[in-house]
Amino acid sequence: MCKLFKLHRSGFYAWLKKPLSDRAIEDNRLLKLIREFYVASGGTYGSPWIHADLREAGEQCSVNRVAKIMRQHKLKAQIGYKRRHIKGGKTSRIADNLLARQFNPPAPNQTWVSDITYVRTYEGFLYVATVMDLFSRRIVGWSMDKNMDKHLVIKALLMAVYQRQPKADVMVHSDQGSQYGSADYLAFMKEHNLVPSMSRAGNCHDNAVAESFFATIKKRIVKRKIYSTREDAKAEIFNFIEMFYNPKKRHSHTGGVSPAKFEEAYFSELETV
């Protein structure tokens, strides 16, 4: 190597023995923390959110420094995941688009959105239905089953009602899938003072936030893999929603905090008024 680069052997070994600078030592320490937060996010966090995690942990460093360290060690946030359309029977237009892309309600339990996706397993598809509160982007209800039918979406909505106990009418927006137009689903909505709203035919942007959540799931855990069993898939999706997404996942919509922390701050502020 010394001959190749025309270096004196003594100088080369002296360079090897040279101690790391204080900044290099600090960068190595930060790198360990950065890797921990990067892995915890499933590789979906870029330097801004990693920097937010570091600051929350008490570290004092700039976002540019974090970006440089991540770039040097090839730690890149994964890009989005293109969702395939699910064919779920005939469309059922039984409600107007009351949501009208108003995705930022001022309080919890005013507007929920629901959607369905699937993951692959060697036993067949596992279908996942969720209900999200648009105020905090929190998943307040979910259901998983091998069948994509009315029971799938009713169970997700039942969980949302049970957990949130809304005291006034709640708008629930969905697409025009046949599951959301079933008589049993609509009866459940009416019984619990839920007001249906539906996207316009063929317009995915009308339910963009719900679809964005599923893109996050695909990017964070599924990553085009096929699970051995439906139970394996269920366990990982449960952990993602309840152990990471709701309590920890940072959102630009919520000012860089998780859905749970955003709601905690909201209710704490109400108590002081």
| Mean local confidence (pLDDT), 65-89 | 70
- Range in 15-19, 99-103, 147-151, 180-184 with the lowest mean pLDDT: 15-19
Please determine, for residue 142, whether its predicted confidence score (pLDDT) is greater than 60: yes
What is the C-alpha separation between 62 and 179, in angstroms, rounded?
A: 48
Higher pLDDT, 223 or 10: 223
| Mean local confidence (pLDDT), 250-265 | 92
Please determine, for residue 81, whether its predicted confidence score (pLDDT) is greater than 50: no
Q: Given this model, what pLDDT does residue 79 score?
A: 59
Provide the Cα torsion 237, 175, 209, 146; round to 10°. Answer: 0
pLDDT band at 90 (very low <50, low <70, confident <90, very high): low
Please determine, for residue 173, whether its predicted confidence score (pLDDT) is greater than 70: yes
Q: Given this model, what pLDDT does residue 235 score?
A: 95
3-class DSSP string for the chain: CHHHHCCCHHHHHHHHHCCCCHHHHHHHHHHHHHHHHHHHCCCCCCHHHHHHHHHHCCCCCCHHHHHHHHHHCCCCCCCCCCCCCCCCCCCCCCCCCCCCCCCCCCCCCCEEEEEEEEEEECCEEEEEEEEEECCCCEEEEEEEECCCCHHHHHHHHHHHHHHHCCCCCEEEEECCCHHHHCHHHHHHHHHCCEEEEECCCCCHHHHHHHHHHHHHHHHHHHCCCCECCHHHHHHHHHHHHHHHHHHHCCCCCCCCCCHHHHHHHHHHHHHHC
Q: What is the pLDDT of residues 115-136, one digit of tens each?
A: 999 998 999 999 999 999 999 9
Q: Is the pTM of this model over 0.75?
A: no
Q: Given this model, what pLDDT does residue 12 score?
A: 56
| Under 8 Å between Cβ of 81 and 219 | yes
| Under 8 Å between Cβ of 221 and 42 | yes
Instruction: Indicate the average pLDDT of the chain.
Output: 85
Please determine, for residue 258, whether its predicted confidence score (pLDDT) is greater than 70: yes
Please determine, for residue 105, whether its predicted confidence score (pLDDT) is greater than 60: yes
**How far, in whole angstroms, is CA 148 from its chain's centroid?**
22
